[in-house]
Structure 1
Amino acid sequence: MVTRSSCALFRKKAGLDNAEVIGAALALLVDHGYLTELEPPTTGRPRTDYYWHPDYLPD
């Protein structure tokens, strides 16, 4: 699963309503191995894609 917008991961979730809080939550998930972050080359604005670790995907 890829999410091209970090805000899309946590949209409408309690307590995750600004970029700083969302960034901290994503960093924690990356640090603990739940997500992998990649910065693909783009022709426009830079972006970060997040991929769930396969062990944490629903069956």
Structure 2
Amino acid sequence: MTPPSVLSRNAYLTYALGKAARRRLQDRLTARGLRLRHLTVLALLADLGPQAKTASPRGWT
């Protein structure tokens, strides 16, 4: 049980919200046979377009 004094802290509430959102996202991805890292790669491809296997995304060193 989380103490009431902690529940009123913005940092804790932000942490708890992020944790719940991540769990929900992981559940939805898992239902489709995907993991969070797959979503990351797909987002990079959507932002940067097709990439050669040996290429680093623009801006990465």
TM-score using structure 2 length: 0.29
Higher strand fraction (1 or 2): 1
Greater CA radius of gyration, 1 or 2? 2
Q: Quick one: higher RCO (CA 8 Å, sep 6+), 1 or 2?
A: 1
Higher helix fraction (1 or 2): 2
